[in-house]
Amino acid sequence: MKAMILAAGRGQRMMPLTAELPKPMLKVQGKPLIEHHIERLKTAGITDFIINLAWQGDKIRAYFGDGSQLGVHIEYSQEPEQGLETAGGIIQALPLLGEQFIVINGDIFTDYDVSSLLHIHLDAGEAHIVLVENPAHNPNGDFTLRHLSVDSPKYTFSGISRFHQQFFAGIAAGTHRLGPLLKNKLAEHVVSTELYIGNWDDIGTPKRLTQLNELLVEQQLIK
């Protein structure tokens, strides 16, 4: 199975850190966010990657190349400089992906065990998404768990998912956001969900990045 890492976002909330650097290349524990994902996915047995590129994407391509230095294989899906949003980027990359594939946002940091996604059963046109407890910057959440009523509490989409390629059938190439698509498909009962209670951070601002690095240093000192 292949994994796609979404890395084409502009990262405007991370300015000035992203003035000349794509957000997934910002460092946590001394290495780019995206490298943490590659290592975790490789541990789970996934060695074929697609990375979409837009803003400053050449920095990612120059750093990772074909992935051989990390013992993996990387292909790139080049987008216009303004990007195609999350769903649009996946749709453009579909010819490079298999029938089923994993997608992870390149600007999160987590210890989620991605190997569990390999055991999810999806029929044609289905998807599975991982939700997390709501962080302070998203207190109202995004989606309810599938088995609960629409009036139940909402949780935050982690940016971790698995898709059957037919999930995107009938959607023309172009700029599309993933959130509204998932909402519609949840209502059609073709999206399964899970709630992960563990370490997860959305690196959305310079302050959050600094706080995460400081926390990880403290945890290492305690150990």
47-72, pLDDT tens digit by residue? 999 999 998 999 999 999 999 999 99
* Tokens linked to 172: 């023309």
Q: So what's the pLDDT on residue 182?
A: 96
Q: So what's the pLDDT on residue 72?
A: 98
Q: So what's the pLDDT on residue 152?
A: 83
pLDDT band at 15 (very low <50, low <70, confident <90, very high): confident
Helix (H, G, I), strand (E, B) or coil at 44: coil
Residue type, 169: A
The whole-number average pLDDT for the span 4-28 is 88
**pLDDT averaged over every residue in the chain:** 92
* Tokens linked to 15: 């300015």
Helix 57-64 × helix 33-43 angle, to 10°: 50
CB 89 within 8 A of CB 51: no
DSSP secondary structure of 61-130: HHHHTTSGGGTSEEEEEE--TT--HHHHHHHHHGGGS-SEEEEEETTEEE---GGGGGG----TT-EEEE
125 burial (CB, 10 Å; 0-12 / 13-18 / 19+) is middle
CB 3 within 8 A of CB 48: yes
Q: So what's the pLDDT on residue 5?
A: 98
**What is the chain's percent helix, strand, coil content, to nearest 5?**
35, 25, 40
Residue type, 190: V
Q: So what's the pLDDT on residue 223?
A: 47
- Paired with 66 in beta bridges are none
pLDDT band at 10 (very low <50, low <70, confident <90, very high): confident
% of the chain with per-residue pLDDT over 90: 78
Q: Which residue has the higher pLDDT, 173 or 132?
A: 132
Q: So what's the pLDDT on residue 99?
A: 96
Q: So what's the pLDDT on residue 222?
A: 55
Taking the CA atoms of 108, 113, 118 and 119 in sequence, report the sign of the dihedral they define.
Answer: negative
Q: So what's the pLDDT on residue 12?
A: 79
Residue (of 163, 141, 160, 144) closest to 152 by Cα position: 144
Q: So what's the pLDDT on residue 221?
A: 56
Q: So what's the pLDDT on residue 149?
A: 64
pLDDT tens digits, one per residue of 105-156? 999 999 999 999 999 999 999 999 999 999 999 999 999 998 766 678 999 9
CB 197 within 8 A of CB 131: no
Task: Enumerate domains of the chain plus CATH numbers.
Answer: 2-222 (3.90.550.10)
